A and B are shown apart, each in its own frame.
Chain A
Amino acid sequence: MKLSISKHELNEAIQQVAKAASSRPAIPILGGIKIDVTHQGVTLTASDTDISIQSFIPVENDEHVIAKVDKPGSVVMPSKFFVEMIRKLPADTIEIEVGDSYQAMIRSGSTDIQMVGMDPEEFPVLPAVEESEVLQIPGDLLKAMIRQTVFSASTSEQTPVLTGVLWNLQDGLIKFVATDRHRLASRTAKVDTAPEYRFTNVVIAAKTLVELSKLIPDGSALVEVVVASNQVLFRIGTLLFFSRILDGTYPDTSKIIPQSFKTELVLDTRKLTDAIDRAYLMSREEKTNIVRLMTLDNSMIEVSSSSSELGKVTEQLEAASLEGEPLRIAFNSKYMLDTLKVIDSEQIIISFTGAMSPIIIKPTDHANSLYIILPYRTTN
Chain B
Amino acid sequence: MNIAAVPGQTKAKRILQYVLKSGKVSHAYLFSGPSGTGRMALALAFAKALFCTAGGDDACGECLECRKFEHGNQPDLHRVAPDGASVKLGQIQELQREMAFRTTSQHRKVYIMEHAETMTVQASNSLLKFLEEPLSPTVAILLTDNPLAVLPTIRSRAQIIPFLPFPPEQMLQELVNEGQPHLLARAAVHLASGIDGARQLIQQNGFAEMRNVVIQLGKEGLTRFTAAMITAQQRLFKTELGEQSELFLSLLLLWFKDMIHFQAGRQEKMVFIDQSEWIGTHAFAHSVDYWVECMEHTLEAGKRIAANVAPQLAVEQLLVNLQEG
Contact = CB atoms under 8 A, between A and B. Distances in A.
Interface of A: 26-30, 49-50, 119, 121-122, 124-125, 157-158, 160-161, 163, 229-231, 244-248
Contacts of B96: 157-158, 160
Interface string B89-107: 0000110111111111100
Residue among A27, A121, A122, A246 with the highest chain B CB neighbour number at 10 A:
A122
A366 B82 CA distance: 53
Contact of A246 (B75, B93, B102, B126): B102
Given A158-B93, A160-B96, A229 B102 contact: yes
A28 B71 contact: yes
Contact of B101 (A28, A50, A119, A157): A50
A245 B135 CA distance: 12
A28 B100 CA distance: 21
B136 interface: yes
B135 A26 contact: no
Contacts of A230: 101-104
Interface string B123-138: 0001000000001100
Interface residues of B, number: 23
Given A27-B73, A124-B75, A244 B101 contact: yes
B74 interface: yes
B97 A157 contact: yes
Contacts of B64: 121-122
A121 B71 CA distance: 12
B27 interface: no
Contacts of A244: 101-102, 104
Contacts of B97: 157, 160, 163
A49 B94 contact: no
B68 A157 contact: no
B84 interface: no
Nearest to A248: B135
B67 interface: yes
A29 B99 CA distance: 19
Contacts of B104: 49, 124-125, 230, 244
A130 to B, nearest CB: 17
Contacts of A161: 100, 135
Interface of B: 64, 67-68, 71-75, 93-94, 96-105, 126, 135-136
Contact of B93 (A119, A157, A229): A157
Contacts of A247: 99-102, 135-136
A39 B212 CA distance: 71
A247 B101 CA distance: 5
A29 B64 CA distance: 14
B109 to A, nearest CB: 9
Nearest to A160: B100
B102 A28 contact: no
Given A28-B72, A29-B71, 19 more contacts: A27-B72, A27-B74, A29-B73, A49-B101, A50-B101, A119-B67, A157-B96, A158-B93, A160-B100, A160-B135, A163-B100, A230-B101, A230-B103, A244-B101, A244-B102, A245-B101, A246-B100, A247-B102, A247-B136
Contacts of A29: 68, 71, 73
A121 to B, nearest CB: 6
Contacts of A122: 64, 67-68, 71, 73
Given A157-B94, A245-B101, A119 B75 contact: no
29 contacts: A27-B73, A27-B75, A29-B68, A29-B73, A49-B101, A49-B104, A50-B101, A119-B71, A121-B67, A122-B67, A122-B71, A122-B73, A125-B104, A158-B126, A160-B99, A161-B135, A163-B100, A230-B101, A230-B102, A230-B104, A231-B102, A244-B102, A245-B101, A246-B100, A247-B99, A247-B100, A247-B101, A247-B135, A248-B100
Contacts of B71: 28-29, 119, 122
> 3 tightest A-B contacts by CB?
A160-B100, A247-B135, A230-B102
A246 B67 CA distance: 27
A247 B72 CA distance: 24
Residue among B67, B74, B100, B136 with the highest chain A CB neighbour number at 10 A:
B100
A26 B105 CA distance: 17
Contacts of A229: 102
A79 to B, nearest CB: 14
B102 A49 contact: no
Residue among B97, B98, B101 with the highest chain A CB neighbour number at 10 A:
B101
A124 B75 CA distance: 8
B186 to A, nearest CB: 40
A245 B103 CA distance: 9
B137 to A, nearest CB: 10
A50 B74 CA distance: 14
Residue among A28, A231, A246, A247 with the highest chain B CB neighbour number at 10 A:
A247
Contacts of A231: 102
Contacts of A157: 93-94, 96-97, 100
Nearest to B94: A157
Nearest to A249: B135
Nearest to A164: B100
A182 to B, nearest CB: 19
A124 B68 CA distance: 10
A245 B75 contact: no
Nearest to B90: A157
B42 to A, nearest CB: 21
A104 to B, nearest CB: 18
Given A122-B67, A157-B96, A247-B136, A26 B101 contact: no
